[in-house]
Amino acid sequence: MDIVLLFKSLIMGMVEGITEFLPISSTGHLILTGDLLNFMSKEKRDVYEIFIQLGAMLAVVWEYRAKLTQTLKGAVKPGSERNLLLAVVIAFIPAAILGLLFSKTIKAHLFQPVPVAMAFIIGGIIILWAEKRQANKVPVVESVDDLSLKDALKVGLCQCLALIPGTSRSGATIIGGMFLGISRKAATEFSFFLGIPTLGAASIYSLLKHRHELDMGDSGVFAVGFIASFIFAFIAIRALIKFISTHTFVGFAYYRIAFGLIVLATAYSGLVSWTV
């Protein structure tokens, strides 16, 4: 087993776990990190990056296992549990359809350092706008259990923006939710729940579609990334919920803008030869 490759996989898993549920784009960070590390072939890395998202998704399942169990049990009759389950399903559909239709085109044209960097910067500016707007308004929806199906569909449409690498799935859903009048905490928790079918479906679809790219020799590398993703996503989820109880997303916005500018500067100066 190649120890260097395993170490690179550990770093990739850490990056995925830490960034998946923060509004800073896990895909963008994985693209750039993988490029810097010269990690695996492009085709195999694409499958790897989707696969380790399963680890992050399972971290949500574990953290909210009591809530999820209660929701599934209560969904057999009308009430808040059924409403939440339907909200997640409805919000999941738009991105699933657009992903199937346009994922190849998006990967061919937008999975490049400059588009990713621009998405980082634009996303940061939008977060600053959303936080300024939120400061002057009282949220209409305080709890994830009170989310209407109409608002869930709107959040699902916002999630479609995350098909653009560098945008951030969690950022699109959380900030989109805040624009809709959903509280910061409720929008964040709904983003977590929506990530379960979104990441799960994307991972399974990618593995089935690209299974010919894999062999048993990759199992150790994939396992290390998966486990690292689970552990660091679990830590990040708890940290984020605690963080937003007393802070805004402004710090993440400035991070996105600074990170995007650095990528642009290194790309145009030739300091880093981005190849993705």
> Do 165 and 111 contact (CB within 8 A), yes or no?
yes
Residue 240: domain span: 3-269
Q: What is the pLDDT of residue 157?
A: 96
Taking the complete model, does pTM exceed 0.75, yes or no? Answer: yes
Distances (CA, A) of 36 to 107, 233, 274, 276: 19, 22, 8, 10
> Tokens 């805004």 label which residue?
248
Q: What is the mean pLDDT of residues 200-219?
A: 80
Q: What is the pLDDT of residue 197?
A: 94
Q: What is the pLDDT of residue 27?
A: 82
Q: What is the pLDDT of residue 1?
A: 65
- Rounded to 5 degrees, φ, ψ at 22 are -95, 150
Q: What is the pLDDT of residue 95?
A: 92
pLDDT over threshold 60, residue 42: yes
Read off the tokens for 66: 């009591």
Task: Report the range of poorest mean pLDDT among 163-167, 189-193, 220-224, 247-251.
Answer: 163-167
pLDDT over threshold 80, residue 172: yes
Per-residue pLDDT tens digits for 126-151:
999 999 887 777 788 899 999 999 99
Q: What is the mean pLDDT of residues 74-83?
A: 90
> Do 249 and 124 contact (CB within 8 A), yes or no?
no
Supply the Cα-derived Rg of the chain in whole angstroms.
18
Read off the tokens for 173: 């859903």
Domain-embedded: residue 218: yes
> Do 224 and 10 contact (CB within 8 A), yes or no?
yes
Work out how many domains the chain is built from and give that number. 1
Domain-embedded: residue 276: no
Domain-embedded: residue 62: yes
3 state SS of 141? strand
Domain-embedded: residue 70: yes
Q: What is the pLDDT of residue 40?
A: 86
Spatial separation of the C-alpha atoms in residues 127 and 118, rounded to whole Å: 14
Closest by CA position to 4, among listed 30, 33, 38:
38
pLDDT over threshold 70, residue 275: no
Residue 270's contacts (CB-CB under 8 Å, 6 or more residues apart) are none
Task: Report the range of poorest mean pLDDT among 29-38, 61-70, 207-216, 220-229.
Answer: 207-216
Q: Residue 276: which pLDDT band, with cuts at 50, 70 and 90?
A: low
Domain-embedded: residue 275: no
Spatial separation of the C-alpha atoms in residues 73 and 218, rounded to whole Å: 38
Q: What is the pLDDT of residue 187?
A: 94
Spatial separation of the C-alpha atoms in residues 88 and 205, rounded to whole Å: 19
- Comparison of pLDDT for 144 and 103, the residue scoring more: 144
